[in-house]
Amino acid sequence: MPKIHSHSGAKKRFIVTKSGKVKHKKRGLRHLMAGMASDKGLKRKHSAILDKTDVKIIKKFLPYSF
């Protein structure tokens, strides 16, 4: 039986924690930040946990992580 390859983009963007949750970095911190309020930027600075419905999709992309 051949091995299943992980999705290259998902490997770079998502991390699976020990408890099985999926962490990701929030969007919107690369460019066009001059007009953004400072509190918005600070809220997006920290990583977040994915919703359970999205975890099902990521499990297909990262088969050996869970």
Task: Give this prediction's pTM.
Answer: 0.80
Mean pLDDT of 47-66: 93
Tens of pLDDT, residues 3-16: 999 999 999 999 99
Does the residue 48 lie in any domain?
A: yes
pLDDT value at residue 1: 85
Q: Which structural domain range is residue 52 located in?
A: 8-61
Does the residue 53 lie in any domain?
A: yes
Q: pLDDT band at 60, cuts 50/70/90?
A: very high
Helix, strand, coil content of the chain in percent (nearest 5): 35, 10, 55
Specify the number of domains making up the chain: 1
Does the residue 1 lie in any domain?
A: no
Tens of pLDDT, residues 16-47: 999 999 999 999 999 999 999 999 999 999 99
Can you give the CATH number for the domain in which 38 is found?
4.10.410.60
